[in-house]
Amino acid sequence: MRRVATLGVLVLAGFLVLGGVLRAAGRNPFLVVDGDGWLASNANHDAGTWTVLNPERPAFGLQLSERNDLPFDRGTAGATFWVRNAHCGVGFAAFSEQCGWQLGLAVTQYRSIVVGGHGIEIDGLGKPPYGRVINFSRDGSQIVGLLTNTYVDFSGVDDKTKPSWFSGFDLARDGFVVRRTAPSAPSFEELLSIDRDGDANVAGDLAARHATQHAPNQWAARVRLVHGAYTFRYATPFTETPVCVATSEGAARLRVAPSPTDCRVTSDDRNDGATIDIVVIGNPQ
């Protein structure tokens, strides 16, 4: 009997606290809309129309599907978190419009998660720079992948003293890319790209063992200059300094500086990004 009495006291206390919260809020945020349960903030529903209490603020709503399916996926029910933009007037009725309920997050009856917006931020227990999973579109381009230190809409960064990285799919180009931006740099530079045919372009150094081997002591590589320079590091060092020859598809003059471990190629144009061919002849170890 004592446990039953204690439980009854707790239930009564819960109802009293809930009643106090509702009175403090000045309204009941728990609604039933067309047979579904809703928990709404800054919004109310009556006679088929939603109204915003304060149009200068966004509104939020949690819909628990009891009778209706998800508006964007007929035949699937779920628990859906909706967001309505600020500065959109008072009344609205539609979903997925600029001034209607827009998807924030949905958990479907199949336990799948659907996220609205450009991406998901993972704060690493509050330690910046943060990691993000993004699906971002702008000006005809669309990229899907992993992003560090930069906001999901590329409007800013977590830490201006740290670099930012992106790796993922450039859907407009039908390829995979790796990009990096230095601290305070205005834009990302492409370090690696792989097209739909499997051809790869690498901006930096790439050690390769006898790429395009013509003889035991002669091999070549085709690469691209980055800011007018490229260092070809050999996978196996040479016993002595080999002969290194470089030719360019561009107009600027090239200079080579070979050593037993690499061949440094520089262009007279510091902004040169031309494709070059490097041939190395020597006696590898």
**pLDDT tens, 243-284?**
999 999 999 999 999 999 889 999 999 989 899 999 998 876
Say yes or no to pLDDT of 209 above 70: no
Say yes or no to pLDDT of 16 above 80: no
**What is the band of 210 on the pLDDT scale with cuts at 50, 70, 90?**
very low
pLDDT exceeding 70 applies to what percent of the chain? 86
3-class state of residue 11 by DSSP: helix
- DSSP state letters, 210-278: STTEEETTEEEEEEE-BTTEEEEEBSS-BSS--EEEEEESSSS-EEEEE-SSEEEEEESSTT---EEEE
3-class state of residue 170 by DSSP: strand
pLDDT, tens digit, 9 for 90 and up, residues 130-167: 999 999 998 888 999 999 999 999 999 999 999 999 99
Separation CA 43–CA 59 (nearest Å): 6
**What is the band of 14 on the pLDDT scale with cuts at 50, 70, 90?**
very low
Report whether 176 contacts 168 (CB < 8 A).
yes
Average pLDDT over residues 14-37: 66
All structural domains of the chain with their residue ranges: 23-115, 120-202, 213-281
Determine the pLDDT at residue 35.
93
Mean pLDDT of the chain: 85
Looking at per-residue pLDDT, the higher value among 172 and 15 belongs to 172
Residue 144 Cα to chain centre, angstroms: 6
* Of the listed ranges 41-55, 123-137, 202-216, the one predicted with least confidence: 202-216
- How many alpha carbons fall within 13 Å on the CB side of residue 273? 7
Determine the pLDDT at residue 15.
41
Determine the pLDDT at residue 38.
96
Determine the pLDDT at residue 26.
61
Say yes or no to pLDDT of 126 above 70: yes
First and final C-alpha spacing in the chain: 88
Determine the pLDDT at residue 10.
42
Separation CA 93–CA 257 (nearest Å): 70
Handedness of CA 100, 136, 195, 250 (dihedral sign): positive
Determine the pLDDT at residue 64.
96
Determine the pLDDT at residue 24.
41
pTM passes above 0.75: no
Comparing CA positions, the residue from 171, 279, 157 lying closest to residue 215 is: 279
- Domain spanning 213-281, CATH architecture: Sandwich (2.60)
Comparing CA positions, the residue from 210, 211, 205, 261 lying closest to residue 230 is: 205
Average pLDDT over residues 166-175: 95
Say yes or no to pLDDT of 21 above 80: no
Determine the pLDDT at residue 214.
55
